[in-house]
Amino acid sequence: MADEKTLDTRVKVHLKIKRFNPETDRRPHFEDYEVLLRAGDRVLDALHLVKWTIDGTLSFRRSCAHGVCGSDAMVINGENKLACVNLIRNVGTHLTIEPIRGLPIIKDLVVDMEPFFAQYRAVLPYLINSDEPGYKERRQSQADRERYDDTSKCILCACCTTSCPIYWTNDGYIGPAAIVNAHRFIFDSRDEGTQERLDILNEKSGVWRCRTSFNCTQACPRGISVTKAIEEVKREILFDRI
Amino acid sequence: MLLSVKVHYHSYDAIIVGAGGAGLRAAIEVAGKVKTAVITKLYPTRSHTGAAQGGMCAALANVEEDYWEWHAFDTVKGSDYLGDQPAIDIMCKEAIDAVIDLEHFGMAFSRTADGHIDQRRFGGHTRNHGEAPVRRSCYAADRTGHMILQTLFQQCVARDVKFFNEFQVFDILFDDTSQQRKVVGVVAYELATGDLHVFATKAVLLATGGYGKMFKISSNAHTLTGDGPALLFQKSIPMQDIEFFQFHPTGIYGFGILLSEAARGEGGILRNVLGERFMDRVAPTVKDLAPRDMVSRAIHAEIVAGRGAGPEKDYVFLDLTHLPPEQIDSKLPDISDFARTYLGIEPKTQQIPIQPTAHYAMGGIPTNVDAEVLADETGATVLGLYAAGECACVSVHGANRLGTNSLLDIVVFGRRGGKKMAQYVLETDHPEITKDAHIPFQQRIDELKNANGQEKVAIIRAELQETMTKNASVVRTHDSLEEALGVIEDLSKRYLNISIDDKGNVFNYDLLEALELEHLLELARAMVVSAQARTESRGAHWRDDFPTRDDVNWMKHTLTTKKPDGTLRLAYKPVVGGKYPPMERKY
């Protein structure tokens, strides 16, 4: 561990990055780069090294660099991952990096996130509650709090939604991330908007599009059981209808 | 001859710059009352508030006796008596409402067995004026900041707040024709297109966060480059107490990624290479839960004394191995994952290598308790200009911020600033601004794109970070600061000779990084010069050549201003005292 940092042993990392500049290119293409990195460095460090020492025109989003802001979702060797939580020693020294799929590419690894956030907004992702609690906290039992703990971890990185084959092929599907954020409130004992959200998710664009391929669960960098959350919402809709 | 660029014109009553906790909390207060827009260089949920882990203190007394006055005392003492006591009183008193507000907004606080908001221990927070640690921090596992950021964003979605996402503000426009300076607008750069946007507005609230990326080992996001403070600094608005920068004791070794103080709040222990619990010697009463400045210095002292671990003997350990595994899973899940991800360490069975990491700017844009920006040491305000959160200095943190008080600061002063701004807007006429307000910034972009110098942004930035971590961190001397200043001045000259690769309009981060670097250089110089002038040790500002606090000469705030000729002017104003007279800081 510490040795990898301090001994400064570097390995050659080959990157094959999908590039697209809308001002000059007609279609995306791959470019190859080589940089020297330590095994304990992040994929994000590799991208920075390319940008800072080889080609400053490479564009990608990033901010926190440790997996909590959700900016740097990308396809790394075929799988959706955050570049800042994957180390070279785990992903290897030959990397193919592409933008996440299913959202329009704007430049290089930067995609248009607006459709994704529009789907998020569509599920009423906020507490709906009409009572007047006054100057005190609402009570919530530890068990009730635990009920939505998993889905409250979501950082809206879009790894799940853009790993979903249904999302790629059907542009109406609201996608796993929106359902996760609906789940977070549907199962919050303080919330009163469940019926509205279930109606939204019962529509053609909603949960029934899910074919439980589990791509989303595998892709989630926060370890959220996304497919399970979708199944719980489905059951809630069915249970309500009986 | 300027390159052609599309310019868009907008008109708002209130503009908020930055969409972390302070900006979003202000937006909730303002939107709906007056025509408001939030401009942010990221998507709101990417803001670094989301990285805050441990909690937000408020004397709810849900689990044991507590009073806001005790919280205020701890904050004053933690600040090493540089915090202004009336402002600290307001923050600690309003903390209780602020937590309850968040709960009403849907915040997913961890709960006690009877369903109340749970509270835990945190560094420097004590019962009855220092008797013992107290359970005061309201939290949501170890992702309290994430939950606060999500909750505030959710409330903005519910209120249909207008956002301009991935827009970078690069100029704040003033009317300087009358005696009191007045805000009239902002100029922003749209990352997706390269277009410029001129916003005429009655009021601006800056909530742009910190500037910890001037250091090499830092817990801060890449995007924390002090944009708001630097833009004002360039327009001769001072920076207050900029020499005070917090180094968090427990950054992941080599990365600087934060491991929350909550780890010690839950019972974690710091150990040197010999396995000794060295905080026993430094703070016999609260031990590992001493304030951050003291713990960081204690780690530094262990390393200097040769009791650090590793081939370079340059780190110590955070030991959680004695905690029940289920407590680690439920209370510290995220930081355990960080240790596994970045170091391949299992915190249930192995000690985690840590080192102090640049974390938080106590200093910033001077404001009063309503977040109104102060133009100088006399307390005159700039009309229509507000600042809140880490970019501001009220001052509630003084020379050293207590853990959890940053999340508190953003919600309390974001709310107060928003309220005050809405009131100001309703009493103020709409400003006139000229159609060519964007020209100076447009010229700047053209210069950068056309420049063909030999210097590279990434290299200058790395050298800046290197010297700041080496010379202006946990321990400083006149000579180390002199060395840093020399490097910064040299880098600033080299900066004039940079060129960038990307000449395009679409998501040109190459250009953005060049502009951000200018902000870091500007603020680093101000920090080092202010630190060199302060010949005492107080809070996070430790001078090995002046190792004692000097209350006779230095119970005062620094105000550092950039004069039109580029030189710096240092002025001072007295600390505003209160119930608690300065005393020796023992824990």
Residues 135-164 of A with CB under 8 A from B: 135-142, 145, 148-149, 152-156
User: Based on the domain organization, do A126 and A228 belong to the same domain?
Assistant: yes
**DSSP summary character for residue B507:** S
Residue B326: give the domain boundaries: 245-359
d(CA B415, CA B408): 11
Tokens of A213: 């391929």
Average pLDDT estimate for B184-195: 98
User: Based on the domain organization, do A184 and A92 belong to the same domain?
Assistant: no
Query: Phi and psi dihedrals of B374, rounded to 5?
Result: -95, 135
pLDDT tens digit string along B345-378? 999 999 999 999 999 999 999 999 999 999 999 9
User: Based on the domain organization, do A36 and A7 belong to the same domain?
Assistant: yes
Last residue of some domain: A111, A132, A162?
Answer: A111
Residue with tokens 């390269």: B194
Last residue of some domain: A94, A111, A128?
Answer: A111
pLDDT band at A3 (very low <50, low <70, confident <90, very high): very low
Q: What is the pLDDT of residue A4?
A: 47
Residues B56, B138 contacting (CB under 8 angstroms):
yes
Q: Which chain B positions have a beta carbon within 8 Å of A107's beta carbon?
A: 504, 506-507
**B286: CATH:** 3.90.700.10
Asked if A64 has any chain B CB less than 8 Å from its own CB, the reply is: yes
Q: Which of A21, A107, A135 sits opposite B100 (nearest CB)?
A: A135
Query: Phi and psi dihedrals of A165, rounded to 5?
Result: -60, -30
Q: Which chain B positions have a beta carbon within 8 Å of A31's beta carbon?
A: none
d(CA B279, CA A228): 45
Asked if B9 has any chain A CB less than 8 Å from its own CB, the reply is: no
Average pLDDT estimate for B528-552: 98
Cβ separation of A133 and B104 shorter than 8 Å? yes
Assigned domain for B163 exists: no
pLDDT band at A8 (very low <50, low <70, confident <90, very high): low
Tell me which residue of B527, B16, B497 sits closest to B242, measured CA to CA.
B527
Q: Is the pLDDT of residue A143 over 80?
A: yes
Pairing of strands B269-271, B316-319: antiparallel
Tokens of A71: 């900016």
Q: What is the pLDDT of residue A2?
A: 45
Residues B199, B190 contacting (CB under 8 angstroms):
no
Cβ separation of B46 and A6 shorter than 8 Å? no
Q: Which residues pair with B251 in a beta bridge?
A: B258, B355
Cβ separation of B115 and A149 shorter than 8 Å? no
d(CA B371, CA B236): 18
**A220: CATH:** 1.10.1060.10
User: Based on the domain organization, do A76 and A175 belong to the same domain?
Assistant: no
Asked if B95 has any chain A CB less than 8 Å from its own CB, the reply is: no
User: Based on the domain organization, do A69 and A136 belong to the same domain?
Assistant: no
Q: What is the pLDDT of residue B3?
A: 65
**Burial (0-12, 13-18, 19+ Cβ within 10 Å), A118:** exposed
Q: What is the pLDDT of residue B535?
A: 98
Taking CA atoms, what residue in B is nearest to A140? B115
Q: Is the pLDDT of residue B48 over 80?
A: yes
User: Based on the domain organization, do A101 and A121 belong to the same domain?
Assistant: no
**d(CA A186, nearest CA chain B) in Å:** 12
Tell me which residue of B431, B387, B414 sits closest to B30, measured CA to CA.
B414
Assigned domain for B294 exists: yes
* Enzyme catalytic residues of B: 292
Q: What is the pLDDT of residue A232?
A: 97
Classify the complex by whether its ipTM is higher than 0.85, answering yes or no: yes
Cβ separation of B338 and A140 shorter than 8 Å? no
Q: Is the pLDDT of residue B434 over 80?
A: yes
Assigned domain for B519 exists: no
Q: What is the pLDDT of residue B2?
A: 63
Residues A84, A72 contacting (CB under 8 angstroms):
yes
* Alpha-carbon distance values, B30 to B17, B25, B37, B156, B472 (Å): 13, 9, 10, 11, 39
Q: Which chain A positions have a beta carbon within 8 Å of B157's beta carbon?
A: 121, 125-126
**DSSP summary character for residue A206:** S
Taking CA atoms, what residue in A is nearest to B153? A126
**A64: CATH:** 3.10.20.30
Q: What is the pLDDT of residue B445?
A: 95
**DSSP summary character for residue B351:** P
Asked if A189 has any chain B CB less than 8 Å from its own CB, the reply is: no
Pairing of strands B392-393, B365-366: parallel
Residues 2-31 of A with CB under 8 A from B: 2-3, 5-7, 21-24
Residues A96, A14 contacting (CB under 8 angstroms):
no
- Rounded to the nearest 5 percent, the helix, strand and coil shares of chain B are 35, 25, 40
pLDDT tens digit string along B293-319? 999 999 999 999 999 999 999 999 999
Assigned domain for B332 exists: yes
pLDDT tens digit string along A11-42? 999 999 999 999 999 999 999 999 999 999 99
Asked if A130 has any chain B CB less than 8 Å from its own CB, the reply is: no
Residues 476-505 of B with CB under 8 A from A: 500-502, 504-505
Tell me which residue of B496, B380, B159 sits closest to A125, measured CA to CA.
B159
Average pLDDT estimate for B122-151: 96
Residues B502, A56 contacting (CB under 8 angstroms):
yes
Q: Is the pLDDT of residue A179 over 50?
A: yes
Tell me which residue of B216, B218, B214, B215 sits closest to B227, measured CA to CA.
B214
Tell me which residue of B448, B5, B2 sits closest to B195, measured CA to CA.
B5
Q: What is the pLDDT of residue A6?
A: 46
Last residue of some domain: A111, A139, A169?
Answer: A111
Residue A159: give the domain boundaries: 114-241
Cβ separation of A71 and B42 shorter than 8 Å? yes
- Percentage above 70 pLDDT, chain A: 95
Q: CA torsion B123→B128→B130→B136, rounded to 10°? A: 0
pLDDT tens digit string along B257-299? 999 998 999 999 999 999 999 999 999 999 999 999 999 999 9
**d(CA A1, nearest CA chain B) in Å:** 6
User: Based on the domain organization, do A124 and A72 belong to the same domain?
Assistant: no
Asked if B106 has any chain A CB less than 8 Å from its own CB, the reply is: yes
- The total domain count for chain A is 2
Average pLDDT estimate for A171-197: 96
Q: Is the pLDDT of residue A127 over 90?
A: yes
Assigned domain for B299 exists: yes
Residue type present at position B308: G
**Mean pLDDT computed over every residue of chain A:** 94
Cβ separation of B501 and A56 shorter than 8 Å? yes
Tokens of B584: 């020796």
Asked if B512 has any chain A CB less than 8 Å from its own CB, the reply is: no
Q: Which chain B positions have a beta carbon within 8 Å of A152's beta carbon?
A: 108, 140, 147, 150
Residues 520-559 of B with CB under 8 A from A: none
Residue type present at position B192: A
Is residue B344 helix, strand or coil? coil
pLDDT tens digit string along B51-75? 998 899 999 999 999 999 999 999 9
Asked if B446 has any chain A CB less than 8 Å from its own CB, the reply is: no
Residues in contact with A236: Cβ distance below 8 Å, sequence separation at least 6, in sequence order: A186, A194, A198
pLDDT tens digit string along B16-42? 999 999 999 999 999 999 999 999 999
**What is the pTM (predicted TM-score) of this model?**
0.97
Kindly report the length of chain A.
Answer: 242
Assigned domain for B321 exists: yes
Tokens of B259: 């491991």
Q: Is the pLDDT of residue A71 over 50?
A: yes
Residues B117, B62 contacting (CB under 8 angstroms):
yes
- The total domain count for chain B is 1
Q: Which residues pair with B374 in a beta bridge?
A: B381
Dihedral sign (CA B362, B363, B366, B371): negative
Average pLDDT estimate for B241-260: 96
* Alpha-carbon distance values, B270 to B250, B277, B343 (Å): 9, 6, 17
pLDDT tens digit string along A72-82? 999 999 999 99
Establish, for the pair of chains A and B, how many residue pairs have beta carbons separated by less than 8 Å.
173
**Burial (0-12, 13-18, 19+ Cβ within 10 Å), A104:** exposed
Tell me which residue of B109, B116, B145 sits closest to B20, measured CA to CA.
B145
Taking CA atoms, what residue in A is nearest to B20? A69
Q: Which chain B positions have a beta carbon within 8 Å of A70's beta carbon?
A: 45-46
Taking CA atoms, what residue in B is nearest to A139? B115
CA atoms within 13 A on the CB side of A31: 15
User: Based on the domain organization, do A120 and A85 belong to the same domain?
Assistant: no
